[in-house]
Amino acid sequence: MPDTQALVNDFLNKLKKRKIEGSQATAKQTAELLRSVISQTRMPYTNQAAALIHSVKAVGERLIAANPVELAVGNVVRRVLHIVREEDLSLTTAAMAGLNLSAESDDEDDTDRDNHPALSAAAIAAASRSTLRPPSLQTLLEDVPDSAAVPHTSSSGGDSEGKSKSADKSSRSRKLKHDVIEAVNELIQDISTCHELIAEQAVEHIHQNEVILTLGSSRTVLEFLCAAKEKKRSFRVFVAEGAPRYQGHLLAKELVTRGLQTTLITDSAVFAMISRVNMVIVGAHAVMANGGVIAPVGLNMVALAAQKHAVPFVVLAGSHKLCPLYPHHPEVLLNELRSPSELLDFGEFSDCLDFGSGIGAPLLHVVNPTFDYVPPKLVSLFITDTGGHNPSYMYRLIADYYSADDLVLERRTTSGN
């Protein structure tokens, strides 16, 4: 336990000091941390899933509070919670299917079961699953055999309940943790390979002699473009430099190193050039449930220009960037102001920037936000590691990754903090 505590504190510090750059790195590290937290969690005899959820949540809340703007942390915490619930559920159903016993999920559905003692375990499992999972075509189809099996199991399920339950416990306790860690490993794997999965789709979207515009730097975009280049597509890239961080210079350098025809333009020339561009491909910081994008600063301007000239605006985002929250006033609430020193020389304007002394309000404010909010109507397409999606479909995609309980809980706790 103490070493996880140290790990958590270390990670918290990094988050607070904004030492970790990029949502992918953050997501990966968060997942790894949570994995060790899970492995260190001592499992109680009953309600193991609840115990896991509790410990993950406790750490997750602190992580989210450390950097509420880095939505990837919250996403990963929710993903892990979802994994725990899913694993628990699958164990329960597996136990039921295998033993044909009442291996009811004893963690959360205790009350449920008490209220409906007449119902069979399978029915309860089905019910619990439908509460956990949002209704989808798949769950609906899965439910059919379960409900069909209800009369069958109800005839034989009642008597052997107490005995099999205790026998099952010990094996399940180890199995749950193991499965969860396995699944979290898979998640980590997903996060680290999401670039490749997205880049694989590049050839489907980039044609010969295409002109592509991007702003700032994103590793996903870089890999995407390079993947198309490797497939012998020749195209031209305009890179807007993305002031005040000028990450575009970095991207341009990477692209020319890989032999792509690259033109570096100023951010101000985006509107002038967009009429000659076939497609805008950008990375995102986070994708909200409504299909809106929290993106590097300046992209709203690019998206508006693209809309004006009917240029497709494509956002590349790994699934760890899908955030189940709906944004409210995201331009301000989900934004972060960076140091004015990136815009102005302190030496030159120090007299006007003096907030401490002097008379009343300072004359000069310097605004240097990090992110921009691009509303869903400006986005033509999302390309995630699961394929291309419309902005309007995002909520559904998100429902596959997160369980509804966690959204509510997280939101309450974050607002409490």
Partner 1 sequence: MDARRMSRAVPRVRQVGFFTPNTPAQQPQPQSAAPSSESPPLSDSPASNSLSPVMIPPPRHLSDNLGGRTAAVPVPGRENSGELPTVGSYNPSESVLWLDSPPRSRIGDEELSEGAESSLGWYRRSDSAKFASSLPSGGFNLSTAKHPDSVAAVEAKNPLPEQSEAQKEQASSSKPLKAKTTKAERRALQESQRAAKAASRAEANKSGTPGGAPSSKPMKQPPQKKDGPPVASSIAASERIGVDRSVEKERKKDLPPPRKQFDDESRGGRAKRRSVLNQPEARNRVELFRHLPPHKNGTQLPYLGSKFFELHEKHPAVYKVGLQYLAGDLSGGNARCIAMLQAFQEAIRDYSTPPEKTLTRDLTSKIGGFVSFLIECRPLSMSMGNAIRFLKSRIARLPLTLSESEAKTTLCSDIDRFINEKIVLADKVILRHAATKIRDGDVLLTYGSSCVVEMILLYAHELGKQFRVVVVDSHPMLEGQKLLRRLLVKGLSCTYTQLNAISYVMHKVTRVFLGASSIFSNGTVYSTVGTASVAMVAHAFRVPVLVCCEAYKFHERVQLDSICFNELGDPDAISKVPGRVDVNYLDNLTDKQKENLELLNLKYDATPSDYISVIVTDYGMIPPTSVPVIVRGYRKEYLLI
List the one residue out of 45, 34, 40, 11 whose CA is nearest residue 83. Answer: 34
Q: Which of 252, 287, 289, 334 binds partner 1 (CB under 8 A)?
A: 252
Of 135, 151, 156, 64, residue with least CA distance to 414: 64
Segment 217-246, which members bind partner 1 (CB under 8 A)? 241-244, 246
In terms of C-beta density within 10 A (0-12 exposed, 13-18 middle, 19 or more buried), how is residue 251 classed?
A: buried
- Round to whole Å and give the CA distance between 185 and 354: 50
Tell the smallest beta-carbon distance from residue 213 to partner 1 (Å): 12
Residue with tokens 């209800």: 150
- Residue 279 structure tokens: 């497609």
Give the binding range for partner 1 (CB under 8 A) out of 124-132, 155-163, 249-257, 286-294.
Answer: 249-257
* 13 CB-near residues (< 8 Å, 6+ apart): 19
Instruction: Give the residue, chosen from 203, 301, 399, 404, that forms a contact with partner 1 under the rule CB under 8 A.
Output: 301
Q: How far apart are CA 88 and CA 107, in angstroms?
A: 9
Residue number with CB closer to partner 1 (164 or 290): 290
Q: Which residues 6+ apart lie within 8 Å of 276 measured at CB? A: 211
Count of residues interacting with partner 1 (CB under 8 A): 56
> Among 199, 255, 287, 288, which residue interacts with partner 1 (rule: CB under 8 A)?
255
Query: Smallest distance from the beta carbon of 306 to partner 1, in angstroms?
Result: 11
Is 331 a binding residue for partner 1 by CB under 8 A? The answer is yes
User: Which range in 89-97, 141-149, 329-337, 385-393 contacts partner 1 by CB under 8 A?
Assistant: 329-337
Which one of residues 343, 350, 354, 393 is an interface residue with partner 1 (CB under 8 A)? 343
Using alpha carbons, select from 193, 402, 207 the residue that is nearest to residue 287: 402
Minimum distance of partner 1 from residue 370's CB (angstroms): 9
342 binds partner 1 (CB under 8 A): yes
Residue number with CB closer to partner 1 (10 or 342): 342
Q: How far is the CB of 200 from partner 1 (least distance, A)?
A: 24
Question: Site map for partner 1, 354-393, x if CB under 8 A?
Answer: -------x-xxxxxxx--xx--------------------
Nearest to 15 by CA among 80, 60, 70: 70
Using the minimum distance from each CB to partner 1, give the nearer residue, 263 or 390. 263
DSSP letter, residue 135: P
* Contact flag: residue 267 with partner 1 (CB under 8 A): yes
Tokens of 123: 């029915």
Binding flag, residue 279, partner 1 (CB under 8 A): no
Q: How far is the CB of 300 from partner 1 (least distance, A)?
A: 4
CB-based burial of residue 383 (10 Å sphere; 0-12 exposed, 13-18 middle, 19+ buried)?
Answer: buried
71-99 helix and 23-40 helix, angle to the nearest 10 degrees: 40
User: Nearest Cα to 396, choosing from 137, 71, 75, 24?
Assistant: 137
Cα-Cα-Cα-Cα torsion 396, 398, 399, 403, nearest 10 degrees, comes to -170
The residue from 16, 231, 276, 396 that contacts partner 1 (CB under 8 A) is 276
Among 134-142, 173-181, 314-322, 338-346, the segment contacting partner 1 (CB under 8 A) = 338-346
The least CB distance from residue 394 to partner 1, in Å, is: 21
Cβ-based nearer residue to partner 1, 59 or 288: 288
Helix (H, G, I), strand (E, B) or coil at 390: coil
Shortest gap between Cβ of 235 and partner 1 (angstroms)?
12
Q: Which two tokens stand for residue 320?
A: 């760890």
- Return the residue of 80, 222, 305, 314 that touches partner 1, per CB under 8 A: 305
3-state SS, residue 374? strand
Secondary structure (3-state) at 286: strand
Residues forming contacts to partner 1 in the complex (CB under 8 A) are 241-244, 246, 249-250, 252-253, 255-257, 259-273, 275-276, 297-298, 300-301, 304-305, 308, 331-332, 335, 342-345, 348-349, 352, 361, 363-369, 372-373
